[in-house]
Every structure is written in structure tokens, then in C-alpha cells.
Amino acid sequence: MILGCGKRHKGMSSVTCQISISLDGFVAGPNQSLENPIGEGGMRLHQWLFETDSWHKLQGHAGGAHTVDSEVVDGLFQNVGAYIMGRHMFGGGRGGTTFNFVTDGIDSALEQARLAGGAKDIVVAGGAHTVQQFIAAGLLDELYLHIVPIVLGAGERLLENVGDPMLKPNDVIASPAVTHVRYRIGR
């Protein structure tokens, strides 16, 4: 699915991924379904986000704590022109949503996202299989992991079938709830 959210500009955008992940490498828990699209225990991956004042403001509400995580959240949505989401994201299974999806591959999805977002960045929002395809194809410039200190034990593992990408950490920000690591991906 492509969600355009920026003006068109000349120039080339970066292709990034920003995703919460458990210590054992899962971005969704086991037994995903329409009722539980992130799987059992999967919502715990995002609890750090929901507790920030930045998230509350994005939702049009007051509250939340102002922490280093708030500053990270503020940066997540800057210069984003379009998002690419896999077919199963938020749907819990095939055909679980009412969105229109690109069905002719990641190259087509990226091309459409660049048209929608102009020179702004493209974010591959997930799920795991979609991110894996972008990494394996060498199309992802940056991987921003929000490493949550939980163990899910099963579910959708992020870094399977991606080849041997060269990851170079650019930023590391730690808080009591999560460790944020921004990697540049070399070719």
C-alpha cells in the first residue's frame, strides 16, 4: 500500500525503515489475526511510543511523558513523502483491509511512492516480509530499529532472508523503555 503525504519536489529521496523490534528479532508476535494484527504480545513492541507526549499530540490529545523517546518520535515523521506497507500490515491476513495494494512487486511500489512523495523520504513501514524484500534487493538506505527489551519467542522475524547487508550504526539513543539504533545500509 502506498500512502502519499507530501508535495512533489525534484530530486531523489532516501528509502528508510523505522520499526520496533524485540530483543529476539521479532516485529510481530505469534498468531496474527484480524482481531490481533500484531500477534500475541505484539502491542508491547509499541508501548514506548504510546507513552510519549509526541504520540499524544499526533493523536490530538494532551498527556504523555516528554522523554528522549518523545524527541525520537518527533523526528520519525519529518520529511516523509510516502509510506510503503505490506499487504498483511494491520490486516492480520490476506485481504484483511480495504486498502488498494501494489501487487507487481517492490520496484513498482517504490516507483509509485517516489511519484507520490516527490523528493521527500520514502518509509517502508512493514511488515517483516516487505522490509526483508527491500533489504535483500539493496533498496533500503537506512534501517532505524527501536529495540524493545522484551522477548516474544515467536512471530514475524525481521532479519531473515536478507542476505548479508553491511549495517553501520549512525546513531544510538537509549532510554529506560527502548534503545533506538539508526543504521546506514551499505551496498
CATH number, domain containing residue 22? 3.40.430.10
Residue 73 in any domain: the answer is no
110 inside domain: yes
Q: Domain containing 152: what range?
A: 2-39+79-186
Would you list the DSSP string of 51-81?
TBHHHHHHTT----B-SHHHHHHHHHTTTEE
Res. 63: pLDDT tops 90: yes
Total count of domains within the chain? 1
pLDDT at 42: 95
pLDDT value for 37: 85
Q: Could you tell me if residue 129 is inside a domain?
A: yes
CA distance 50 to 58: 10
Say if CB 111 and CB 4 are below 8 A apart. Answer: no
Percent of the chain past pLDDT 70, that is, above it, reads 84
The per-residue DSSP string of 129-156 comes to HHHHHHHHTT--SEEEEEEES----SSE
Query: Is position 26 within any domain?
Result: yes
- Report the predicted TM-score, pTM, of the whole model to 2 decimal places: 0.85
Cβ burial of 129 (10 Å; 0-12, 13-18, 19+) is: middle
* Least confident residue range of 60-74, 82-96, 108-122, 151-165: 82-96
> How do residues 93-116 score in pLDDT, each as one tens digit?
544 333 445 568 899 999 999 998
Mean pLDDT confidence for 118-135:
92
Does any domain span residue 61?
A: no
In-domain check, residue 149: yes
Question: What is the C-alpha to C-alpha distance for residues 87 and 51, in angstroms, rounded to an integer?
Answer: 28
Question: Diameter of the chain by CA atoms?
Answer: 44
120 within domain boundaries: yes
pLDDT at 65 over 50: yes
Strand partners, 127: none
pLDDT at 11: 52
Q: How confident is the model at residue 90 (pLDDT cuts 50, 70, 90)?
A: low
For residue 65, tell me if it sits in a domain: no
Q: Which residues contact 51 (CB under 8 A, 6 or more apart)?
A: 64, 65, 67, 69, 177
